[in-house]
Structure 1
Amino acid sequence: MSSPQRDPYPDALRACALLVVVFGHWIATLPRLRDGRLVDTDHLLAAWEGAALLTWLVQVVPLFVFVSAAVSAAGVARRVEAGGIAPWWATRALALARPTVTYVAVLVALALLGLASGGRLLGVFDQSLTVHLWFLLMLLTVQALLPWCLRLDERFGLAAVAALVVLAAVFDLVRAGAGSLSDLIRLGSLVAERPAGIAWLNMLVVWLLPQQLGIAWARGRIRGAGTGLALLALGAAWLVLALASGYPVAMVGVALAGNNMLPPTLALVGVMWLQVGAVLAFEPLARRMLSGSTSGRGPGRAIAVLGALGMPLYLWHKLAELPAAWLGERLGLPIDAGVPGEPGFWLGRACWIGLCLLMVAPVIAAVVRFELRRDREVPAVSRTWRIVLGGVALYAGLAAALAWGVWPGAVIALPAVLLASGQLRQRAAVAAVATQREN
């Protein structure tokens, strides 16, 4: 029996989100050269205040969580009923752990080479080569709660979404110490000035919100261009009020532009409304455009390729900056183009992006070839304790690399993610096949 045809619209949304992330990271990196040699990197937000508004477009993590939940919603309940939550989550975690082992192993090899040869370029890019692993930690966590989110939707519908918004607001209010109307008017300023404290719980609550909305979309609770336009209006008004109260403009977690990400704030929720609104508002048009495409031609082929390369491209695109910088030095290209407004800045940006594209292609080709050669057999053994051990090891490894960069973070992370990959493979093979089909 042939499997049902995939819905191209969610796949197209994920492909677009992936491209935005990749190009956004490259664009944000400003190489700094001295005497033709790379000595440091700046962030675009540090050089151009206006770039903060661009983060409203490039902060697409909520969109990715939203679409992933929508795609998974139909099959998760069946998978959980057949094998339990732990084996189902282990399948998801293994899909992240296996390619992460390869990435971290290469980082360790580069670290050892760097120790032997000086490692100037690796030292410049050290933390930047692991910072994007935060997304894997967040995704592992919210997907572990996906079965419960489905139950919340079944019982409460959109009230579950409202409850998450209220809970996120309560944590921001407590963080701000708001106790009067005047405090509410300057809520964003108070939040920005004070330690997060209990608001760190918004690292979970706020990221569960797009997941709950994705489930609602998949089940038809939110639909139609009219609803999309209403959410777009809500998001615009939400952000205007958030900025007026003093929340930072930028929607990324860097101290130089304020902080709406660590932990997420109510301001970031406004971006979520905009993204979900855009998905619904443009859905009829997008589906008409995609209706004639297939995986073998036109947009369908590009979407299929990006879908297949999603995890490798996300993991490895930052590493492409390392050979891009080396090649830029050797060719004498103007990759250090100063700051916006100076002559040649955008030419320098074009050179840098071009080098990153040139370098990422052979990296991804090598990675995909290696991953395809790896053993895909999964032993049909189910042990909950192995899943728990593997999950803890995976969290610990990712956290170490995220906190301490390539050296010593990746060196500490490698045995942990190796252990995780080995333990997580000890669950029912049927769960792996089912999850592959639903995604």
Structure 2
Amino acid sequence: MNVVDSAKDAGDRVRDTRDRYPDALRAGALLVVVLGHWIATLPRLEGGRVVGTDHLLRVWESAGVLTWVVQVVPLFVFVSAAVSADGVARRLADGQRQRHWWAGRALGLARPTVTYLAVLAALALAAAIGDGRLLAPFDTSLTVHLWFLAMLLGVQALLPLCVRADRRFGLKAVVALVAVAAATDLLRAGVRAPGDLLALGAHVSGSPAGIGWLNMLVVWLLPQQLGIAWKRGRFAGAGAGAALLLLGAAWLVAAIASGYPVAMVGVGLAGNNMLPPTLALVGVMWVQVGLVLLAERPARHFLDRHPVARAVAVLGALGMPLYLWHKLAELPAAWLGGRLGVPIDAGDPGAPGFWTGRLLWIALCALAVAPVMAAVVGFEMRRRRDVAAADASGAIVAGGLALLGGLAASLALGAWPGALIGLALVGAASWLLRAHPQPSADARG
């Protein structure tokens, strides 16, 4: 059975057993991420060969506002927490160990990442031996998207704690996280007088990260805590959605006025609201959650009356492979565009044919990713399905640290040598996180 058939069967089951709205939100967020990454990459060609890449934010300052829409990581974390909250709550009630649940999540992430890093390391090694002219312009961009996996692992490890916090404190837990995030930016900015608040963003942007790294956890825990609260019915409806949307809009306007960068993605492109996350990024979360509530009733009405469950299930089944491999598709897309003379390098925004070139570039990336996805999904479906370690606490901790270390090495060092180092660590994590049943006494003879 192929992945489409499996997704169709899953779609039939989803029709009766799953809430399709969160699934549709996650599928939509995935597509936004993939298309956003492709749009933002600007290949630069000379003589039909790629000699470098640029980024849309670097050449078009106004694109920063668009990131308020395409920075959908808060939305993904929010929805993922809502989907997982009930299962975690049941395990807590039954006294089950949450580390086994997290080990399953980490193993499900590590296995396909091993495949991606193995292929990337092989390509990087071949490029190091050869001239490497095609790989070099894409080197770091082929691993930069792995940051999301590391972040998701971290916040999901604390999901049981967030469920307990919601049960005990309700929305006060969200308020507490906002307060901590605000205090972190205030301390980073060195605010000493009320007047400094008017330029808070400028002070934060002009200060070393320092204590701001605390927000690498706190800011991403916010949508998780909010997603659990949404699942528990602590806020709902178009009225709450409109209020959150207005709050987010006001929050973003105030943040930009105080000197925070406009763009919500990218580091060293148009400022930095990401590493570490700042209070400005929280405004994007309010906007996105507000839109989720405003769209909920019409979206559910549409989902109930149209046969889209299978399409959503297919996107769900392809989610992890597509996220991992969509950046690598830029390599064959660039090679093909250069060979065919497709105007994928159409200058900068405002230049004639720029947006036509963007559309052709996206088409080439989609064309290139299709066979890759078919091969990868076919390979993953033929692999033996492993079970996560249940009680081996030491192995789970070691596996989690190895997985995070492998992702970090790949992020920091790029395709070469980062992919090779990351492959070794993530491969070790995949082994450590698996259950290794011992043969019985009879089997041992």
Q: Under TM normalisation by the shorter chain, which class is it?
A: over 0.9
Q: Residues 377 and 176 from structure 1, CA distance in 2 versus in 1: closer, same or farther, beyond 3 angstroms?
A: closer
Question: Among 264, 267, 280, which residue is 2:277 paired with?
Answer: 264
**2:302 aligned partner:** 289
**2:353 aligned partner:** 344
**1:108 aligned partner:** 121
**2:219 aligned partner:** 206
Shift of 1:82: 4.8
Residue 44 of structure 2 corresponds to residue 32 of structure 1: yes
Q: Which residue identity does 2:374 align to in structure 1?
A: A
Q: Which residue identity does 1:383 align to in structure 2?
A: A
Distance in 2, Cα, partners of 1:173 & 1:79: 38
Residue 419 of structure 2 corresponds to residue 406 of structure 1: no
Map 1:37-436 → 2, pairs under 5 A: 37-80=49-92, 81-293=94-306, 298-378=307-387, 382-426=391-435
Q: TM-score, normalised by structure 1?
A: 0.94
Q: TM-score, normalised by structure 2?
A: 0.93
Shift of 1:427: 7.6
Shift of 1:382: 2.9
Which blocks of at least 5 consecutive residues in structure 1 are unaligned? 429-439
SS in 2 for 1:30: strand
Distance in 1, Cα, partners of 2:40 & 2:167: 41
SS in 2 for 1:121: coil
Q: Residues 37 and 286 from structure 1, CA distance in 2 versus in 1: closer, same or farther, beyond 3 angstroms?
A: same
User: How many residue pairs align between the two structures?
Assistant: 424
**1:436 aligned partner:** none
SS in 2 for 1:221: coil
Distance in 1, Cα, partners of 2:424 & 2:248: 43
Do 1:397 and 1:416's aligned partners in 2 also have CA atoms closer than 8 Å? yes
Do 1:232 and 1:273's aligned partners in 2 also have CA atoms closer than 8 Å? yes
**1:431 aligned partner:** none
Shift of 1:353: 0.6
Do 1:387 and 1:426's aligned partners in 2 also have CA atoms closer than 8 Å? no
Which blocks of at least 5 consecutive residues in structure 2 are unaligned? 1-12, 438-445
SS in 1 for 2:61: coil
Q: Residues 221 and 329 from structure 1, CA distance in 2 versus in 1: closer, same or farther, beyond 3 angstroms?
A: same
Query: What percent of counterpart residues are identical?
Result: 69
Do 1:14 and 1:64's aligned partners in 2 also have CA atoms closer than 8 Å? yes
SS in 2 for 1:83: coil
